[in-house]
A = this chain, B = another copy of it.
C-alpha cells in the first residue's frame, strides 16, 4: 500500500500541469473562477486545444483517438484540469456518444463521426428522458417506425441539455412496443436540422437555459443511423452507466471549491464580517467537509487502484456518485451562507459578465447544484442500486 503516486505518475502530472499552464487561455480560466457559463464557442475553442494535444478524448480506445492511460493517470488528468480551472470537455461528445460509437458503431459511422466528435466539429446532445420516463427511463414512448430505409420519429424528449446548440442527437426510441419494455428500444443518431424537429428551451431556477424540450413530428432518420441492432438500444445505453468511475465523484472540482471557501473564510474573518465565534463555527464546517472530501478522495483512489488491478468495484460508482454530489451541494450551501444578505441580489447578467462580487452568483450556483442529485440517476436510484448489489433483492 502506498499513497504516493509512482515516479511515472508524478512525471505525468508535471506534463499535464505544464501543458495546462501554457495552453489554457487566461480569459477562460478567469471565467471559470467566477463560475460563469461558457459560450458554445468557448467550449469548442478549448476542446480543440485539448484535441490538438490528443487529450480531448483520453478514455476512448487508442485506435479511435484515445490514450492508453492507466486509471491513476486518468485520475491525475481530471484532477489537474479541475485545479487549473480548465473547462471540462463536452460531456455528451466525449463521455457518451464517443465511447458508444467506438464500441458499437459501424465502420462507416466511426469514419463519419469520431474525428469530428472529438474535435467538437459537431456538437451532440442526449435524447433519453421523456415527460413520462424519468427514473423509469425504459418506459419511454417516442416511436420510430420503419419506412423503407428510414425511421419515422414521433414523440417528445425533455431535459435535453444543450439541445439548442446541438448539431446531432443520440436518442433512445421505441421501435417495438409488444414485449418487455426494455426490449423494444433502439439507439438512433438524429441530425438536429432534420425537418420536423422543434426545440423549446426550459428555463431553470438558476436562471439558466441549458435544458430543453425536443419535439419530433414525422422526423425521417436514415436507418444507417441506427447504432448496432434494432431493439438493443437499452443494452448500449446501460453500457454508459458506471462506465466512467474515475471521475464520477468530481474530487478535483470539489478540492478547487474548497480552496475558494478557505480563502473566503480568511477574507471575511480578516475583514471583521465574521466575528470570532462565527469564524470558529465556519472553520468547523470546513473541517467537516474536508474530512468527508478526503474520505471520498481516498475511496475514489481505491476504486482507481482496484481498476488498475482488474478488480470490479461493485456498488462503488453509486457510492461515489451519492457522496460526491452531497459534498458538491454542501459546498454551495456554505458559499451561500457566507454571502449573507449580500447574496440576495442576482448579478445583472450573471452568465456573461463577472463584474459583481462572488456573492451574487452564490445563490444561482446553489440552485444549479440541486440537479446533480437528480440527474444521471437520482441519488434514490443509486441507493436502490446499492441495495440490490448488497441484498440481491
Residues of A within 8 A of B (CB): 277, 280-281, 284
3 contacts between A and B (CB under 8 A): A277-B280, A280-B280, A281-B284
Residue of B nearest to A276 (CB): B280
Question: What is the bound-complex CA distance between A99 and B44, given in angstroms?
Answer: 76
Q: What are the nearest 3 A-B pairs in CB distance?
A: A277-B280, A280-B280, A281-B284
| Closest chain B CB from A56 CB (angstroms) | 48
Name A's interface SS: helix
- Collect the chain B residues with CB atoms within 8 Å of residue A281's CB: 284
- Collect the chain B residues with CB atoms within 8 Å of residue A284's CB: 281
Question: What is the bound-complex CA distance between A280 and B281, given in angstroms?
Answer: 9
| Closest chain B CB from A12 CB (angstroms) | 43
Residue of B nearest to A284 (CB): B281
| Closest chain B CB from A212 CB (angstroms) | 32
| Closest chain B CB from A102 CB (angstroms) | 45
| Closest chain B CB from A387 CB (angstroms) | 15
- Collect the chain B residues with CB atoms within 8 Å of residue A277's CB: 280
| Closest chain B CB from A209 CB (angstroms) | 34
- Collect the chain B residues with CB atoms within 8 Å of residue A280's CB: 277, 280
| Closest chain B CB from A217 CB (angstroms) | 37
| Closest chain B CB from A27 CB (angstroms) | 44
Question: What is the bound-complex CA distance between A167 and B110, given in angstroms?
Answer: 84
Question: What is the bound-complex CA distance between A284 and B280, given in angstroms?
Answer: 12
Question: What is the bound-complex CA distance between A316 and B284, given in angstroms?
Answer: 36
